[in-house]
Structure 1
Amino acid sequence: MPVCSNCASQLLSPLIDLDLSAIRSKLRSDSGPSISQPAEISTTFRNVQQDLISCEDEIQRLEIRRAYLVEQRSLLQDRRDHLQAFLSPVRRLPNEILQRIFDDCCDMNYFRVGGRRQKSIVQSKPALTLSSVSAQWRRNSLALSSIWSRITLSWMYEGEDYGGRETVHEKVLFILDTFLNRSRQHPLTVTLELKTTPVLQNGRFFTVVNRLVEQACRWRSFSSGGSYHGPARVFHRQIPSSLPLLEDVQFNGSYDSINVNILGTAPKVKSLAIDWHIPRSIESCVENLSHLELRPDYNNLETLFLNSPKLRSLKVYMNDEHYPHLAFPEDIYPKYVSPLSTTLEKLTLTPPSFIPEKANYTIFPFLNLPSLKTICLETNPYVGDPSWIDANHFVAFITRSSAKLTTLDIEGLAFSDSDLVLIFTHMPTLLNFTFNDNRVSLESSPITRKFIQTLQVHGQQPLTSMDILPRLRYLKLILRAETFDDAVVIGMVRSRWKPLQSPQSPQSVRSSCPWRRRHAFPEAGAKETEVKEPTMVTCLRECIIQFPNRMRSELEQVYASLDDIEKDGMRFVVLGDGKDDGGSGGSSGLASRV
């Protein structure tokens, strides 16, 4: 009987010879058994059938044994994983640190009434997820009232469709009550997304919405959204007498007097986001604001800043054809603008949804902000042409303000590389620069080969005669181009990190932050001429470049020459999200050096 070469166990022994050569030979000749003598064939045939049955039985026995062993392996792996969990470092974390982690990672808890049924209640409510992991996590989750106080309610039911469905929402109401109880007296962060009216035909609120409105005295942050806008709909013309804890308010939708009156009942509001200008009736309600988002009336900018002495951050929705009374033709731009604010540090600008031909709706000629440190220029998904910014107006605003800008963040804006360099020549104090060419055609992106060359220190600078951004420490570029001159990028990164000797400093510079001496920046409006007093160019400390349309294998090979940068002290990261040849597709990333 044959045996296994691995385990020496006996194997199935067939009753017949499995060699077919003898049978084939007899079939081709006349020496085989005659038709009148089938006994020999029948005996052999029965033996073959018996061998087949034996093989099937053995296969079934082995498959059952294999399935058993696979199940045992799975159980053993689970047991191993559970035993390893006892040794996990997270189990040794102090409760205070674990609660801090929970507070940071647990964002909004989403409740939805109506619409498509949710697959899982726990998936959209991270607080419930954290409290369901283990006894330790549950104790810490229940002790942390803040993670239960962040609630978003999406309402999608029509009033006439709700009749008799109160029991359907008892589960939602029960879970909502659980969150409100576990949040104890912690201030609430509430977002209401109203796709339809939350009011019954008899004028009463739906129970779920009413439960949140009853807690209005605990609201610290309130945001309204959806197609059925406005707190006026939420409060149904019945405004709470006092909103003592409310600090952050966001109104989506058109102007409503109820929205205005709500601000009058909330004396502690510090952040306000609206889609209209502030009417004169509530100008006195904005004196404590530190952050404001609005569509301003250019005529009353001085009054706005005068009534907001604590304002540190401003987001402006640029005016368009829907607000013609808020726009000005170029010939009546103010000739002189006095400083508007000495506290504002961050300015964010969003373009209008539509820019008529030959119209000018820029706010730059009306601004003078000497305390400004950060400028963010955002895109608008409804703008067909993202080239809405006028570089000359922007440069004039920077020059007029004489602010020590440290951060510039640009997303989805199209202008020439020379215009961007012109802007940078008036920002010698800039430390951080981020550019995302989202929604910008490749031909309109300012991040070109010439621009990267201009960023080089002591290199070929085709767009200017001096080093720009002498204090740049952080650079992030998101470029959708499928090809790029990587050698120029590598040269730029190296030129802004590796120290060079200069005539003024003959000794080798050995420091974690090398400097370079170059031309000093001229005063605003002066010509770019070399001056006697050199300026210092500090090293780049962090550089992140992302190519969403390029393969990571290609980037890994091209930028491998910069591996030594990390050892020297710079954080250099190059990311690629393209599909590799032979890969499974989807999104992938590469960190050349982190």
Structure 2
Amino acid sequence: MTLLCARCTQKLQIRVTLSPAEMSKIENDLRSEYGPFVKPPKRVKEILALADKDIEDYDFEIARLREQLTIIEAQKEQLGTQRAKLRALLSPMRKMPNEILFRILRQVCEENVIQHGLYQRWDGKDDVLTSSATTYLPAVAVSSVCSRWRELTRASPSFWANMTVEIHSLDGDMDELSFMVTRYLERSEEFPFLKLFLQHAHRWESFACWADHSLSFYRMLSQLRFPSLLELDIRHFADPDSNALDIFEHAPRLRILATTDAPPSKTPFNQLETLHFCKSLRVASPTELANTLRNCPFLKKLLLLFDVEVQDPMAQGMWKNITWLNMMEPFEQHLNMVFLSFSFPSLTELIVESEFHETTWPVESFGSFVTTSSCMITAFTLRGISISDLDLIAALRVMPSISYLKIDDINDIDSAQRTITSHLISSLRHQSTSFLLAPKLHSLHLISVRKSKVPFDDATFIGMVESRWFKPGSDLSAAMFSMGKACIRSVVLTFSWREVDAEVYQPLRNLDAEGLRVVVAGTNGVQV
């Protein structure tokens, strides 16, 4: 390679060239000669001065070559861009008719979600959006691809007519949210999606609307009939409006209703089988709830969504048909209110879950509820509920028919009240000489969300599962069945704070091969 002088562009003349023999002598002198009387070799200063000039010339040459390299790289990048555009001219997409391309893009833009702030989960963590913009704002993403796609999306308001706005926090600057919502509203123009939608009301089987105002403001709904409507979800969060549900008076097949309103209403409550009573901003009192239930003689499933207000229990009433009860976001006072005010003799499944706050389990009122109701609960789920292992054992003792059990242990590491402990697991172990807790249990789902000061006892858990597994068709299985003891069929154990050693859980892998469904997962994924 020829090096050129950066000043005169002539061939670069190297001033200093030391042979291997000369370098060897210099290194030997460095090792052997020292002391106050040592004299440096001749011409050292002259050679150093020449070396400095050579290094300066090298620096100039390096800078020149780097500049040339930058120019070459820019030319390469420009050529690559030009090549990509030339190839695009050969793309089959260019031959696709606008009518077909429109249908494809329209399928992509079915739902647009405009969000402000991050949704905060019950454990205090924020749900971070990790997907691409196409997932949340497909109309914006598609219109930014090229001029042709932009013209197609801008020419059709239908691309912008489907919009969901989620505001998880009022903190921060709302200008970006306002800008995006305004853009969608302007580009949707007067697309008659609501009128077109209402023309097919006779075909609706399910309808949901959550708003800050009552549906009674939608005058165009008042004259409609809903002959096919099976499921209705109407929630508004402003002041109560007793006429909000009257719009759905003519719904002869309505069976499922979620609402923030209570009767009186022209809506046919008397034919409901499932009711989600969502008093999210103004909690239902026992009297209001009882009046609602009296209007639903065929009700089988009941979901109650509570707020922070507290109501005192009332004299207990009995509802014989309800088999499924789900209480969401209750405080202990709300659980006491329900357990002490209502009796459900046919109840088979109970779910209590809290995502936004910690709720303490009411031991005494629950025991009284089960005893008074004389119900046979077979499925029991607790999520986000603070309950100790002893209190859970006490609850299971009054539910001998339990066959499905799901528990989320959300207690803090410093909490003395833990749910999933060695004591709980040992209590579930089958021992021929002692009382068997939950003898009908065939499905167990345990989720440990937060780290405990006491390490989890894997061996105790494995031993418990092995003790409740009877190989299908065996004499032991037949004997246990005759004694009213069920074989466990499904086990799920999940940790959010620790890894799972696959070798430790090898015994459960063996049971899985015999027919037991086993899932054990930790922060390192599913290991069984």
TM normalised by structure 2 equals 0.63
Q: 1:289: which partner in 2?
A: 272
Q: Which structure 2 residues correspond to residues 558-577 of structure 1 after superposition, within 5 A?
A: 558-560=504-506, 562-577=508-523
For residues 299 and 490 of structure 1, do their structure 2 counterparts lie closer, same or farther at Cα, with a shift above 3 Å needed? same
Give the distance between the partners of 2:510 and 2:396, measured in 1 at CA: 29
Q: Which residue identity does 1:29 align to in structure 2?
A: K
Q: CA 1:379/1:44 → structure 2, altered by over 3 Å: closer, same or farther?
A: closer
Cα deviation for residue 32 of structure 1 reads 1.0
Are positions 1:272 and 2:257 aligned together?
yes
1:548 corresponds to which of 493, 496, 509: 496
Bigger RCO of structures 1 and 2 (CA < 8 A, at least 6 apart): 2
Aligned positions of 1:194-343 closer than 5 A: 221-224=207-210, 229-231=212-214, 235=217, 240-244=221-225, 247-253=231-237, 256-257=240-241, 260-267=242-249, 268=251, 270-275=255-260, 278-279=262-263, 281-282=264-265, 285-294=268-277, 296=284, 298-299=286-287, 304-317=292-305, 322-324=310-312, 327-328=313-314, 333-334=315-316, 340-342=319-321
Paired position in structure 2 for 1:448:
421
The 1-side partners of 2:433 and 2:66 are apart by: 75
The answer to whether the 8 A contact 1:499-1:516 is kept is no
Specify the SS of the correspondent of 1:434: strand
1:396 CA displacement:
1.3
Secondary structure, in 3 states, of the residue corresponding to 2:243?
helix
Query: Root-mean-square deviation (CA), in Å?
Result: 5.6
2:352 to 370, 377, 395: 377
Amino acid at match of 1:109: N
Q: Is the 8 A contact 1:287 1:307 kept in 2?
A: yes
Could you give the per-residue CA deviations for residues 2-43 of structure 1, whole angstroms, max 9, x where no partner exists?
Answer: xxxxxxxxxx997744665656759963441398xx5x6665
Aligned ranges 1:381-396 → 2 under 5 Å: 381-382=356-357, 386-389=360-363, 390-396=365-371
1:496 and 1:534 map into 2 onto residues whose CA distance is 13
Q: Does 1:433 align with 2:405?
A: yes
Query: Structure 1 residues 288 and 174, CA, compared in 2 at 3 Å: closer, same or farther?
Result: farther
Paired AA for residue 547 in structure 1: F
Q: Cα 1:354–1:255, aligned 2, differ >3 Å: closer, same or farther?
A: farther
In 2, the alpha carbon distance for the partners of 1:459 and 1:66 equals 79
What secondary structure, in the 3-state scheme, does the structure 1 residue paired with 2:244 have? helix
Pairs within 5 Å for 1:146-165: 151-153=163-165
The yes-or-no answer on 1:124 pairing with 2:108 is no
Aligned match for 2:344, one of 368, 378, 384? 368
The C-alpha deviation readout for 1:310-361, integer Å capped at 9, x for no partner, is 433211246976545xx32xxxx44xx65x243x3421124645749xx952
Q: Give 1:270 deviation, angstroms.
A: 4.5
Q: Indicate if the aligned counterparts of 1:305 and 1:341 stay in contact, CA closer than 8 A.
A: no
Q: Match of 1:472?
A: 442
Preserved CA contact (<8 Å) 2:471 2:514: no
Identity of aligned residues (%): 19
Q: CA deviation at 1:420?
A: 2.6
Deviation at 1:424, TM superposition (A): 2.9
The code of the aligned residue for 1:494 comes to E
Rounded to whole Å, the distance in 1 between the matches of 2:506 and 2:70 is 50
Following superposition, the deviation at residue 421 of structure 1 comes to 3.1
Question: CA 1:62/1:349 → structure 2, altered by over 3 Å: closer, same or farther?
Answer: same
**Matched AA of 2:248:** A
Q: Distance in 2 between matches of 1:305 and 1:360?
A: 18
CA contact (8 A) 2:425 2:464 kept: yes
1:524 equivalent in structure 2: none
Looking at structure 1, the residues matched to 247 and 488 of structure 2 have their Cα atoms a distance apart, in angstroms, of 51
Q: How many residues align?
A: 446
Mapped to 2, the partners of 1:57 and 1:48 lie a distance apart of 14
Deviation at 1:282, TM superposition (A): 1.8
Alignment of 1:483-498 (within 5 A): 483-497=455-469
TM-score, scaled relative to structure 1 = 0.57
Whether the aligned pair in 1 keeps the contact of 2:420 and 2:448 (CA below 8 Å) is no
Q: Which shows bigger deviation, 61-70 or 444-453?
A: 61-70
Asked if residue 173 in structure 1 is aligned to residue 122 in structure 2, the reply is: no
Question: In the alignment, does 2:470 pair up with 1:535?
Answer: no
Residues 20-59 of structure 1 aligned to structure 2 (within 5 Å): 25=29, 29-33=39-43, 46-54=53-61
Residue of structure 1 in register with 2:526 after alignment = 591
1:549 partner amino acid:
W
| Paired AA for residue 350 in structure 2 | I
Question: Does the aligned pair in 1 maintain the 2:161–2:184 contact within 8 Å?
Answer: no
Q: Distance in 2 between matches of 1:567 and 1:50?
A: 75
1-structure distance, mates of 2:505, 2:417: 26
**Secondary structure at the residue paired with 2:510?**
helix
Alignment gaps of 5+ in structure 2 = 2-11, 84-103, 118-128, 147-157, 169-173, 278-282
Contact kept in structure 2, 1:314 and 1:347, CA below 8 Å: yes
- TM alignment of 1:398-437, pairs within 5 A: 400-401=374-375, 403=376, 405-437=377-409
DSSP 3-state at the match of 2:450: coil
Report deviation, 1:123: 4.6
Cα offset, 1:451, TM superposition: 1.4
Higher mean alpha-carbon deviation, 238-247 vs 474-483, is at: 238-247
Secondary structure (helix, strand or coil) at the match of 2:496 reads: strand
Deviation at 1:488?
Answer: 0.8
Residues 537, 52 of structure 1: alpha-carbon distance in 2 compared, 3 angstrom cutoff = same
- Please state how far the C-alpha of 1:174 moved relative to its aligned partner: 4.2
The answer as to 2:318 corresponding to 1:348 is no
Distance 1:423 1:168, change over 3 A: closer
| Contact kept in structure 1, 2:323 and 2:344, CA below 8 Å | no
Contact 1:473/1:538 (8 A) holds in 2: no
User: Does the Cα contact within 8 Å between 1:442 and 1:481 map onto a contact in 2?
Assistant: no
Residue of structure 2 in register with 1:142 after alignment: none
C-alpha distance in 2, partners of 1:275/1:292?
A: 11
The corresponding residue for 1:196 is none
